Amino acid sequence: AQSVAQPEDQVNVAEGNPLTVKCTYSVSGNPYLFWYVQYPNRGLQFLLKYITGDNLVKGSYGFEAEFNKSQTSFHLKKPSALVSDSALYFCAVRDRGDYKLSFGAGTTVTVRA
């Protein structure tokens, strides 16, 4: 079985401040980890993924995420948040041998000007 936990329903930050969205996962084998973003009334857009290799992965729009195997975490980060980053963010995991994704409940990010 695989699962994802996003412990924060909401994250509020001021524009220009660092942004972190937390994610922890559980999977029986080796994980493939993903972050997606959803803007209002839109579908999910892929941000970044961890497959193998460097634990720090960089993605779209200046986002990055760090894979930590010992803590089973994959936190999303952005050094300087923008108002336009306000959206709903989902972490997802799948086992390397499977194509089905399991999603977290989502974290709503609000960046205030």
**Is there binding between residue 34 and other proteins (CB under 8 A)?**
yes
Please name which of 49, 95, 97, 105 lies closest in space to residue 74, comparing C-alpha atoms. Answer: 49
Nearer to other proteins (CB atom), residue 17 or residue 30: 30
Q: Which helix (H) or strand (E) holds 12?
A: strand 10-14
- Does position 101 interact with other proteins (CB under 8 A)? The reply is yes
Q: Shortest approach of other proteins to residue 103 CB, angstroms?
A: 4
Write out the two tokens for 37: 């973003």
Among the listed residues 65, 81, 90, 93, the single contact to other proteins using CB under 8 A: 90
